[in-house]
Structure 1
Amino acid sequence: MRNRKFLLLLAAAALFAAPVRSAGLPPLPDKPGATVKGYVECEGRGVEGVVVSDGFNVVKTDAEGRYWLKTKLSRSEFVMISTPRGYDPEVYSGFLPKFFCALDKTVGKKEVQQFDFHLTRAANDDYSLLVVADEHVSGRVIDIPPGSGNVIAPVDSIQFRDDFMPRLVEYADSLMRHTPVYGLNLGDMTHSEYWFRNKTGMAEYLHLAKDTPFLMYHAIGNHDHCHKYENDYEAEAEYRKYFGPTYYSFNIGKVHYVVLDDMLYHGRNKYDKIIAPEQLAWLYKDLRALDPGIRQLVVACHVPLAANNGAWDDIWYNLKNKDELFVLLQDYDVTIMTGDWHTEGTTRVNDRIVEYVHPAVTGNWWYRQGICCNGYPAAFTEYVFRGDRLESRSLIDWANGNSKQQYRVYNKGVTSNTGIASSSALDPAGGAPSVLVFFWGVAPNWTFVCRENGEQTYGRGQLVQRYDPLARSLVEEGIIPYERYTWLKQKPVRLYLYTPKDPGAEIEIVGTDHIRNRDFRVVTRIER
């Protein structure tokens, strides 16, 4: 294990640090004041108009694919490109996009460094994006109670390797027969406490995920910071060593992606939810350099920015400086993608900005596969883009055969009082026979049409805040150790409650998501 980790470190260091020169292109002259220069090329020819940045300055390549930057080594770590529409970057570690080069901090201030970037052509206006979040690869024993040795499931890294990865690869392979596939990881690939305790860190994650058959971009999570450092810059060092910049942009087809770090870390998993001023200044320049024809943005970060308190227009903001961010995004149609909370949710920030919180691959921290602590599936998410249009969004339940069914039905032993309390024993007695449906991603603006035996009914169904019966049963069975890990404690979610006039009728419920303009149809009966 140590030898493999050491070799991975050497390979990463050599890859990030070594200046890459393009063969066959003319020597590149220096320019007054510029300390970094280079080419962006494809098939031996320079690519014009590619955005290049050091995280502070933003320039574009000229007609010959050349760029020059006035970079300060005291503040910049990398030179990076925003991969343009119709191209893919190089790949390293099997599946990571090589859109950046590490600056050599040992050279003199006036010495010029050259970094060239190599692209390949890609017909990617139409594609699928697979989004994952919160794998928490830690090498942790899954026992109940924690530390007892009463093992109820394999070590988390083994579950990730033997169960999750084959399902992800299988699903991607099925898509890649007819469409390009890209990936986005929303952070918490690892858990820094276990870097030291179990010798399971970034290198181990990359080894376990090495069979990923598509480019996977990454965002930094709170647990991808080293908890031993109170300084944000130092805490991010391990992430930068393996993945490069913590904020950057790229284009896939007609969609511009921006990855941000929305945490200011203070050590011991304490952090402010804020986007640093230098990131906002860079984002302003990045968007100004964007092709004016691109109006669709995806903004990805780990910690959610906003959430609904209950009503569609009752929004709670998690990001301290949200106004500064949203003013930069106001001229675009924006899909925000976040993770962290090990649940799923949809928030319409305004008419042009929607945020999706993504469920955790680990679910309830690998204690029981397939379910997050409040009942959502431990899924990855597929987004289908057609040009600049988000055509569909689906949770893929990998623990249940990559199921694309977007709901769970409770129709046996359910009454109108089921799920009111955190314990089934505390649900109020009585109640009429009913059906509960858990639609993935249900939001306050959904509408529902219900029928009994084909005849439409009115006023018999409603969205309610309830405890998911399956998640609650795991808590009651003692499988989820929420007393020790308080963040695993179950919370109520939105379920659709239907109480039929005729308990023996065939019940049809059609829920319509008005953001995605998609219907979800459930046909069921009450079972005795």
Structure 2
Amino acid sequence: MSDRRSFLKNLGFAGSLIAVPSTLLKANPFTKKQNIDLTGLTLRGRVQSQGAGVAGVCVTDGINITQTDKNGQYELSSNATAEFVYISVPAGYAFPAEKGIAAFYQPVPKGKSSFKADFNLDKLKTDDQHHHFVVWADPQMKSKKDCEILLKESVPDLQATIHALPGDALIHGIGCGDLVWDEFELFEDYRKAVELSGIPFYNVIGNHDMDNEARTDDGSANTFKKQFGPTYYSFNRGSIHYVVLDDVFFLGAAKKYIGYITENQMQWLEQDLSYVKPGSTIVLSLHIPTFTGSARRNGKDEEPGGMVANRQQLYKMLAPYKVHIMSGHTHFNDNWEEGDIMEHNHGTVCGAWWTGPICGDGTPSGYGVYEVNGTDIKWYYKSTGSPREKQLRIYKKGYLKTAPDEVSVNVWNYDSKWKVEWYEDGVLKGAMDRRVALDPWAVELYEGPLLPKKHKFVEPTLNDHMFFAKPAAGAKEIMVKATDRFGNVYTEIMKLS
């Protein structure tokens, strides 16, 4: 029986060869493949400040995390897949930066069994319990002309915002993704803009910062990493723990991606948060928003590339903390809040892709400005070229064709804690009616297949921050009074005749 089985086995093998295409038969079946190198690697070094070791600093290879000992020494078992060794800068220390780009990491060389990486920190002279940060979402330059606008308009505006603060104020920036628009040579212009701002910037990868020629998501951040280092990491300032994640998952074909946080990041984040006391405040930045009201407003299903698919798993991990999520991507402004989580989906630096002064929802091109006192965070939206007091825009009756008898108002950074009231000829008429609607100026600038000339795909987008009131026939003046959650009052007046 054994001889018969051997014969049949050989016959089956020969028979299978008959069906194999000739091109495969010519291939060398013994060609050595490029295997993943899992050789053990020991990372070690010291975190120090003016020669003294800094204890308790988290050090990571993006896989596991350890802490420095009382002498500032650390040792971390890793492997040859590690690309960086980096630290979570502790509170009380300046953010190391090179020409404005946060420099908290060192590339790990290939082919070594050990690598020594030391980190030097400078002690802050100012109490960092009080500090500021700005969020630049989607500079997204496609051409040198776009870069010129960024440098001539956006940068001076940010510089003015910074210079308005006290001289010893601590402030940093977060570049919230789509730093360029697929044109990687323009990273140089983004870096120049950051350098000119005069503050350190931490950066987030966006879908337009990815390598579209990559085979899978694993290689899609190669160019970004050469420019800005790791795509997920954390740092600390005062009582706030800052986290940056990469939630743009590349599907292996140009322009194809979904909002998704990989398991590698989840397990890393789980470790990172284990060093953060429950009840602490976390500022988490990523490019694609975890959630927005877009699907509800448009009566459509969620778009895979518009929100984070596995956000509920992220929310569970964040549940013990008070969390502010910073995001971009959408080119509209949208704030939502549930329990101890609030997401700020920012209007963009580039507005509607550098086609006009506003985003598709009517939000002016601009950025978020945040002030931190201990665990208390306050904020406002800074419109490029306008004073910080500019927080709403009032439109004459009938400007929006769907509301022919009403004045309309866009309060772009509105959230549920705002109050928007209107006065007619000096008499308080009460709260304005908030409805999902289009911004009438955005309709004028962007609606239809021929507008705008620069990028015809741009269209006005529905938003949750439009307000309406119907003035009496003989009314002469309308005043709108908007009060934000912090008690700041903003007013606009319009003459009706």
TM-score normalised to the size of structure 1? 0.79
Aligned equivalents of 1:252, 1:303: Cα separation in 2:
24
Unaligned segments of structure 1, at least 5 residues: 1-32, 141-154, 421-426
Map Cα deviations across residues 44-93 of structure 1 (whole Å, 9 max, x no partner). Answer: 1001111111111111111111111001122x21111111111123221x
The alignment status of 1:191 with 2:181, answered yes or no, reads yes
SS of the residue aligned with 2:208? helix
Aligned equivalents of 2:199, 2:256: Cα separation in 1:
33
**Of 297, 308, 328, which residue of structure 2 is paired with 1:339?**
328
Aligned equivalents of 1:362, 1:387: Cα separation in 2:
32
1:367-446 maps to which residues of 2 (within 5 A)?
367-368=355-356, 370-390=357-377, 392-398=378-384, 400-411=385-396, 414-415=397-398, 418-420=399-401, 427=402, 431-432=404-405, 434-443=406-415, 446=418
Aligned to 1:146: none
Structure 2 CA distance for partners of 1:485 and 1:262, relative to 1, 3 Å: farther
Structure 2 CA distance for partners of 1:479 and 1:518, relative to 1, 3 Å: farther
**Of 238, 246, 265, which residue of structure 1 is paired with 2:250?**
265
1:506 deviation in Å? Answer: 4.3
1:212 deviation in Å? Answer: 2.2
Aligned equivalents of 1:253, 1:445: Cα separation in 2:
26
Aligned to 2:110: 105
User: How many residues are aligned here?
Assistant: 447
Aligned to 1:21: none
Aligned to 2:100: 95
Q: Output the amino acid matched with 2:353.
A: W
Structure 2 CA distance for partners of 1:445 and 1:378, relative to 1, 3 Å: same
Report if the CA contact (8 A) 1:255-1:298 is conserved: yes
Report if the CA contact (8 A) 1:419-1:466 is conserved: no
Q: Output the amino acid matched with 1:85.
A: A
Aligned equivalents of 2:173, 2:279: Cα separation in 1:
20
Q: Output the amino acid matched with 1:480.
A: P
Map Cα deviations across residues 193-246 of structure 1 (whole Å, 9 max, x no partner). Answer: x34xxxx33234323443120110000000000122232222210000010000
Report if the CA contact (8 A) 1:510-1:519 is conserved: no
**Of 113, 117, 122, which residue of structure 2 is paired with 1:120?**
122
Aligned equivalents of 1:302, 1:503: Cα separation in 2:
48
Aligned to 1:522: 491
Map Cα deviations across residues 315-348 of structure 1 (whole Å, 9 max, x no partner). Answer: 9692111121111100101000000111111011
SS of the residue aligned with 2:197? coil
Q: Percent identity?
A: 27
Report if the CA contact (8 A) 2:86-2:105 is conserved: yes
Aligned to 2:275: 289
SS of the residue aligned with 1:374? coil
Aligned to 2:134: 130
1:509 deviation in Å? Answer: 3.4
Structure 2 CA distance for partners of 1:186 and 1:271, relative to 1, 3 Å: same
Structure 2 CA distance for partners of 1:525 and 1:206, relative to 1, 3 Å: closer
Aligned equivalents of 1:242, 1:35: Cα separation in 2:
25
SS of the residue aligned with 2:362? coil
Aligned equivalents of 1:383, 1:325: Cα separation in 2:
23
Unaligned segments of structure 2, at least 5 residues: 1-39
1:442 deviation in Å? Answer: 2.0
1:178 deviation in Å? Answer: 4.8
1:466 deviation in Å? Answer: 2.4
1:138-217 maps to which residues of 2 (within 5 A)?
138-139=142-143, 155-192=145-182, 194-195=183-184, 200-217=185-202
1:471 deviation in Å? Answer: 1.6
Q: Output the amino acid matched with 2:84.
A: F
Q: Output the amino acid matched with 1:440.
A: W
Structure 2 CA distance for partners of 1:306 and 1:293, relative to 1, 3 Å: closer
Q: Output the amino acid matched with 1:327.
A: K
Q: Output the amino acid matched with 1:277.
A: E
Aligned to 1:39: 46
SS of the residue aligned with 1:71? strand
160-169 vs 470-479, greater mean Cα deviation: 470-479
The alignment status of 1:85 with 2:111, answered yes or no, reads no
1:444 deviation in Å? Answer: 5.1
- Alignment root-mean-square deviation, CA: 2.5
SS of the residue aligned with 1:269? coil
**Of 209, 221, 234, which residue of structure 1 is paired with 2:206?**
221
SS of the residue aligned with 2:96? strand
Structure 2 CA distance for partners of 1:284 and 1:476, relative to 1, 3 Å: closer
SS of the residue aligned with 1:211? helix
TM-score normalised to the size of structure 2? 0.84
Structure 2 CA distance for partners of 1:499 and 1:334, relative to 1, 3 Å: same
The alignment status of 1:329 with 2:318, answered yes or no, reads yes
Structure 2 CA distance for partners of 1:448 and 1:402, relative to 1, 3 Å: closer
Q: Which 4+ residue blocks in structure 1 deviate beyond 3 angstroms?
A: 314-317, 401-404, 443-456, 476-479, 505-513, 516-521
**Of 343, 363, 372, which residue of structure 2 is paired with 1:355?**
343
Structure 2 CA distance for partners of 1:501 and 1:521, relative to 1, 3 Å: farther
Specify the structure having the higher radius of gyration (Cα).
Answer: 2
